[in-house]
Amino acid sequence: MSSLPARPVLWRSPPAGRILAFAPHPDDEVAGPGGILGRHQQQGDHVRVIVTTDGTNGDPDGHAEPTEVAAMRRQESRAGLAILGIDDVHYWDFPDGHVLSETDLQRATKLAADAITEFAPDVVYMPWEKDGHPDHHALFIVVTRALEQLGSGCLALGYEVWNAMIPDVIVDTTQTAELKRQAMLAHKSQIQYVQFDRCLAGLSAYRAMVHMRGKGDGEALCLVRGKLPAELADPDA
pLDDT tens, residue by residue, 86-124: 999 999 999 888 777 888 889 999 999 999 999 999 999
Residue 23 · residue 52 · CB < 8 Å: yes
- Residue 79 amino acid letter: A
What Cα–Cα distance (Å) separates residue 166 from each residue in 77, 89, 169, 222?
Answer: 28, 29, 9, 8
Residue 93 · residue 53 · CB < 8 Å: yes
The pTM for the full model equals 0.96
d(CA 50, CA 125): 10
- Residue 214 amino acid letter: G
Choose among 133, 124, 119: nearest CA to 55.
133
Q: In this structure, which topology does domain 9-224 adopt according to CATH? A: Rossmann fold (3.40.50)
Domain residue ranges in the chain? 9-224
Percentage of the residues of the chain whose pLDDT score is greater than 70 = 100
Query: 43-61 as b/e, with b when 16 or more CB fall inside 10 Å?
Result: eebebbbbbbbbbbbbbee
pLDDT tens, residue by residue, 141-175: 999 999 999 998 999 999 999 999 999 999 999 99
> CA Rg, the chain, in Å?
17
Note the pLDDT of residue 95: 87
